Structure 1
Amino acid sequence: MRSSKEMQDEMNGQGVTDPEVVLGSDVEPVNEVSSAQAELEQLKGERDQLLDRLVRLQAEFDNARKREIKERADSRDYTVSNTVEPFLGVMDNFQLALKADGTAEQLRAGVELILKQMEDALKGLNVQPVETVGTQFDPRIHEALGSIETKEFPDHQVLEEIRRGYKIREKLLRPALVRIAANADQVAD
């Protein structure tokens, strides 16, 4: 019989290596696979956490968007109600005027009072009429509907207000429709 040394030499001659070395090389890939699996599990856990966080952030964003829409609608309703409230009394007085059986003078006096009430309501909202008659024409706040030939007034002075213009603070809501003076003597100068 052959000795184990002879058998080992024969195996070495045929390209077979030491059995311990063969077993050791098989163990290393097993360690690499288990570490890769551990890393994969860790990455899956991180992914799940990030997906959960993303879902929560999307829900928070959606809730914030819905809350903002509701708050905007509430704010608009509040603004409209505060704006309309002063005009309800004006409407009531118009209805009373329509039911009244008075003379034309009494009706005119009542309409003037209602107009005063309307002007007060607008002042409460910081709405002011644009200055017109007697001022110099300003295309930023006036719209000229025509001119009147005259020698008594300076050229481009507002002579007549056809429709009142309004502004809120410094912002123009609508320009005033006016007729202006056309003084040929001053144009030539």
Structure 2
Amino acid sequence: MSNENKQTAEQDVNATYAAESEQAAEQQAEAADQSQAGSEEAGALSELDQLRMQSDENYQRFLRVQADFDNFRRRSRAEKEDFAKYASLKLIEQLLPVVDNFDRALSSSKEAKDFDALVKGLDMTFRQLDQVLTQEGLKPIEAVGQPFNPEFHQAIMQVESEEHEEGIVVEELQKGYMLKDKVIRPAMVKVSV
């Protein structure tokens, strides 16, 4: 072979070797890129899996809280119903002795026919009833001699009066009552004009 041919052959071998080396380097780079992309995908997948697990955990927590709230609402409703059902229990327990005394007074008046004893028994029983109602916050509305107030009084008549100024309650026809700070029945009154 001639020198020229040898040089051309060497150049061809060198070119082939360089091309193969370059191709191998490219393949290694691609493999490294794929490996890195694979690890990034694996990292992204594991991160996605972690987020899904966290989402599932949060959803389960939400369901438990919702169930707890539903149970609380049911218990509260049942407690309110029981409270409303037995709200007057304390008052009834306090009134039972009054009812017993009325029963005794009526029974003894039938047997003894003693009018004075009956009046005395009824008076004592009425005072006992009044005491129970006062303890519960019931109080009568003052009317006679007071200026007419439509919040506390219900005027059913107007009368002329020389003793009182205009707009003063001169007579109470039916007592009015307040329970604590609320008017439960206004007093029926006659008002001066």
Shorter-normalised TM range: 0.7 to 0.9
> What amino acid maps onto 2:71 in structure 1?
N
Displacement of 1:73: 4.4
> What amino acid maps onto 2:191 in structure 1?
I
Aligned residues: 180
| Partner residue of 1:150 out of 133, 137, 161 | 161
Q: Does 1:51 align with 2:59?
A: yes
The alpha-carbon distance between structure 1 residues 137 and 105, as it changes in their structure 2 partners (threshold 3 A), is: farther
1:116-151 per-position Cα deviation (integer Å, ceiling 9, x unaligned): 222111111121100112222222211111112222
Show the counterpart of 1:136: 147
Alpha-carbon RMSD across the aligned residues, in angstroms, is 3.3
1:54-97 per-position Cα deviation (integer Å, ceiling 9, x unaligned): 12222332333334334444544664211222222232333345
Question: Which structure shows the bigger proportion of residues in helix conformation?
Answer: 2
The alpha-carbon distance between structure 1 residues 154 and 106, as it changes in their structure 2 partners (threshold 3 A), is: farther
User: Could you tell me how far apart the structure 2 residues matched to 1:4 and 1:53 are?
Assistant: 68
Show the counterpart of 2:3: none
1:22-41 per-position Cα deviation (integer Å, ceiling 9, x unaligned): 32333233122211111011
| Partner residue of 1:6 out of 16, 20, 29 | 16
> What amino acid maps onto 1:95 in structure 2?
D
Percent identity reads 29
Q: Does 1:177 align with 2:188?
A: yes
SS at match of 2:88: helix
Structure 1 segment 1-189 matched on structure 2, within 5 A: 3=13, 5-6=15-16, 9=19, 18-76=26-84, 79-99=87-107, 100-101=109-110, 102=113, 107-182=118-193
The alpha-carbon distance between structure 1 residues 137 and 22, as it changes in their structure 2 partners (threshold 3 A), is: closer
- Which ranges in structure 2 are unaligned for 5 or more consecutive residues? 1-8
> What amino acid maps onto 2:16 in structure 1?
E
SS at match of 2:130: helix
SS at match of 1:84: helix
SS at match of 1:39: helix
> What amino acid maps onto 1:28 in structure 2?
Q
